[in-house]
Amino acid sequence: MSYEKKNTQVLIEDTDAFGRLNWRVFCRYCELGEAGLLNTLGFNQMYFYEKYKISFPRRFSSFEYLSQVFPTDLIDFRTEVKRVGNTSLTLSHVFYKNEKLQEPVLVAKAEVVIVAYDEKNHRKTPLPKELVDKIREMHPEAFET
């Protein structure tokens, strides 16, 4: 199970002083992937907060940059659940430069760990059962053994 977004136009304001895609934009793409993945599972971004007062802050992230991206490029990216823990999800993100006449070029990879956080009690909490059940139904290999 994954969320994919194709042909994302790189904007000039998303680049650094050298005209390359700025690292912060990859973070924004990760967040778009997270929201898209939730939608794919049947939940909107605010569902768990509104129902349970649970948010999903990031606990860890790592990025590997492999190729430059410029404002003339189009980006495709994919987000998928890599691992499901008791209180956290590890998400994998891959980014490709969409080469119109060639194979896509892998430009970056990211891994982000998000944690279920109880906003009422101010501490981490088990993932909501309905989220876990939906992921198990669609992506059983993501669960710890």
Whichever domain contains 100, its CATH number is 3.10.129.10
Q: Look up the domain containing 82 and give its range.
A: 2-132
Contacts of 22 (CB under 8 A, 6+ apart): 14, 15, 16
Tens digits of residue pLDDT in 4-61: 999 999 999 999 998 899 999 999 999 999 999 999 999 999 999 999 999 999 999 9
Q: How many angstroms separate the CA atoms of 19 and 99, rounded?
A: 18
Planar angle of CA 25, 30, 34, nearest 5 degrees: 145
Q: Is residue 144 part of a domain?
A: no
Residue 139: pLDDT band with limits 50, 70, 90: confident
Contacts of 137 (CB under 8 A, 6+ apart): none
Q: Is residue 111 part of a domain?
A: yes
Residue 141: pLDDT band with limits 50, 70, 90: confident
Q: Is residue 138 part of a domain?
A: no
pLDDT of residue 99: 78
In the chain, the number of structural domains is 1
HSE, side-chain direction, 13 A CA sphere, residue 14: 20
Task: Taking residues 137-142, report their average pLDDT.
Answer: 86
pLDDT of residue 124: 97
Q: How many helices (H) and strands (E) does the chain have?
A: 3, 8
